[in-house]
Structure 1
């Protein structure tokens, strides 16, 4: 299985049935992959070239983490967002958000940058 940027000799990908395209209300693609024995998800924003590595707790809570080999392989193609940034507290004034995005953030009250970038708001 080839994914742009993941044709890498250190990363042995195994095909899984875990492809979820963005559909209301999700604003990102989710691809579940298995690297050796670990299952992880790649989250790709629907409109921007932002990508991140994640796992899910209870199928709902996203836990971001950094996978060095995956991040290195994807950097030429995407803006790879690190877990420290995604888990950092969200401050609306620190970002260049549109008026609609600020309105949504005020309504949904996200706690972290990750909750703003990879969201399921309606």
Structure 2
């Protein structure tokens, strides 16, 4: 997966933010469709570059994440500081039925190993990242592509 300029939320100029209202509507539609309930909603902040909604479904909770700048969604079974368990969920197939404005990333995409040559500090994962983002990556050393797209860097 190509990592786009600004995806980390670090030093971005002239990139529009995603529509959080549209995201909330989508999540409420998913909750209604699946007989679930929105348990919490968290906006991006200084050390988190994504929106996070916790959706209660019967006997489980799942998290729906949205990057703050690009309309990339992912599902997770757990979201803890610097530890996100990305999953595929049956609701991911339903998202496109509600709204074509988001791209749902699969667990294969988000769990793909992020490749960095430790010796040369070159990124081996395909990217258009800016210099500030690359410097943050060298500092934080993300393990997966999902750790870059949905991060807790400050």
State the TM-score, normalized to the length of structure 1: 0.84
After superposition, the C-alpha distances for 1:25-59 in whole angstroms (9 at most, x for unaligned) are 100010000122210110111111011001226x3
- Asked whether 1:20 is paired with 2:42, we answer yes
Unaligned runs of 5+ in 1: none
Equivalences for residues 1-122 of structure 1 within 5 A: 3-4=25-26, 7=29, 11-16=34-39, 18-56=40-78, 59-60=80-81, 61-68=83-90, 70-75=91-96, 76-91=100-115, 92-93=123-124, 94-122=126-154
State the structure with bigger RCO (CA 8 A, min sep 6), 1 or 2: 2
Q: Distance between the aligned counterparts of 1:115 and 1:41, measured in 2?
A: 15
TM-superposition CA deviations, 1:60-113 (whole Å, max 9, x none): 321000012x21222323111111111111123322212221111111111110
Deviations, residues 6-40 of structure 1 (Å, cap 9, x unaligned)? 63675222132x11111111000100001222101
Shift in CA distance, 3/36, structure 1 to aligned 2, threshold 3 Å: farther
Q: Bigger radius of gyration, 1 or 2?
A: 2
Cα distance in 2 between the residues matched to 1:7 and 1:108: 35
Q: Partner of 2:70: helix, strand, or coil?
A: coil
Cα root mean square deviation, aligned: 2.0
How many residues end up aligned between the 2 structures? Answer: 118
Where does the alignment leave 5 or more consecutive residues of structure 2 unmatched?
A: 1-23, 116-122
TM-score for both structures, normalised by structure 2:
0.68
